[in-house]
Amino acid sequence: MTSNYAPDGATQLEIYKRAALLKANDERSRKVIMTGRLVMPYYSYRGQEIIPSAMAQALTDDDYWVTIYRGIHDMLAKGMPLNDLWAEVAGRVDGTCKGKGGPMHLTYPKKGIMVTTGIVGSSMPIANGIAWGSQLSGNNRVTVATFGDGASNIGAFHESLNLAGVWKLPVIFLCQNNLYGEHTAYEKATSVARIADRGAAYNIPGVRVNGNDPIEMYAAAREAVERARAGEGPTLIEAMTFRFHGHVFGDSDAYMDKDQKKAAMDADPVPIFRARLIAEGIASEDELAAIEAQVESDIDAAVEFALASPFPEFDELTKDVYAEGVAA
């Protein structure tokens, strides 16, 4: 794997700050649902935090990101404010989409979070369109599309890689391979051992990395970003990871291999990263504990802010949906 872009200590600490936020936010989301304070569909990303934490570190605020239903980690990593996020998942007026997007359709263009989609495979053609816009306007922005391993079996994945390869679009196809698509194990539905190999069919570089390793993940992200900004076109990154919970909150996960799951949870990437930062003298126990305490109190405030925010009024229903002045 590339070592040209090894992150220094300060960069690693920034990646850790994001990972700590994402982990705590997932834990809190499940808790808030369990206690009945919020009712919503929830797709846990616990176990996958390092991928967007490192990817976002390689981007600027101006770069774009298109994510999926299992994407709150991507959004937080890219800079969506906690208050706006929590208000949106709670369906309140102070949310990113005034409560009309809900947990599966958040956007926050101020930080480049352009679309969240629940249609498997659709993040990639949308990302291509945004990247094409950047290419035409010369704004030098990069677009990331995240998606799962299952999505790489959808036609839109193949069409998108082909077109991005032909037009050399400044786009990064970031596959978060968590080894399951809904309730189906990877090998039961995917013809190749490595999704990264599919890049070759479209003449674009395909790299597989350990997505749970911040150093490897950051190096791959930097290389893909540099390529895209230099006009050299797209990269397919297959980031290997694991989903610690069932597909959707409440799923009994009976179809998941118990030994595989236990091994993955024993190798939880966030505490491993934390322990290494301390062992290598990059941060002290006290510094990391302070970061984590801050994250918890920021989440406390966001949950209370969201639940105190009102639901949208009925007359909001068709606003922001149709062009101004066009009858609904």
Residue 285: name its binding partner from ligand TPP, Mg ion, none (Cβ under 5 to 8 Å by kind): none
Q: Which of 328, 313, 322, 320 is nearest to 92 (CA)?
A: 313
Is residue 67 at the binding interface for Mg ion, with CB under 5 A as the rule?
Answer: no
Beta-bridge partners for 210: 240
Q: Which residues, numbered 178-237, are part of the site for ligand TPP (CB under 6 A)?
A: 178, 180-182
Span of 97-105, 107-115, 148-156, 217-225 interacting with ligand TPP by CB under 6 A: 148-156
Which stretch, 142-150, 208-216, 220-228, 312-320, contacts ligand TPP (CB under 6 A)? 142-150
User: Using alpha carbons only, how large is the chain's radius of gyration in Å?
Assistant: 19
The reply to whether 178 sits near Mg ion by the rule CB under 5 A is yes
8-state DSSP, 251: -
Task: Return phi, psi of residue 210, to 5°.
Answer: -75, 100
How far is the C-alpha of 294 from the C-alpha of 306, rounded, in Å? 18
Please answer whether residues 271 and 289 qualify as being in contact, where contact means their C-beta atoms are separated by less than 8 angstroms.
no
Rank residues 69 and 87 by Cβ distance to ligand TPP and give the closer one: 69
- The alpha carbon torsion through 7, 196, 233, 155 (nearest 10 deg) reads -140
- Which residues, at least 6 apart from 39, have a Cβ–Cβ distance to it below 8 Å? 33
Q: For residue 117, what are the β-bridge partners?
A: 68
Of 120, 172, 237, 264, which lies in the binding site for ligand TPP, with binding defined by CB under 6 A?
120
Which is nearer to ligand TPP, 39 or 119 (by Cβ)?
119
Phi, psi of 102 (to 5 degrees): 75, -175
Nearer to Mg ion by Cβ, of 195 and 303: the residue is 195
Residue nearest to Mg ion (CB): 148
Among positions 150, 199, 211, 269, the unique one binding ligand TPP when judged by CB under 6 A: 150
Among 79, 81, 101, 118, binds ligand TPP (CB under 6 A): 118
Q: Which of 71, 103, 112, 148 binds Mg ion (CB under 5 A)?
A: 148
Question: Interface with ligand TPP by CB under 6 A: which residues?
Answer: 70, 118-121, 147-151, 178, 180-182, 243, 247
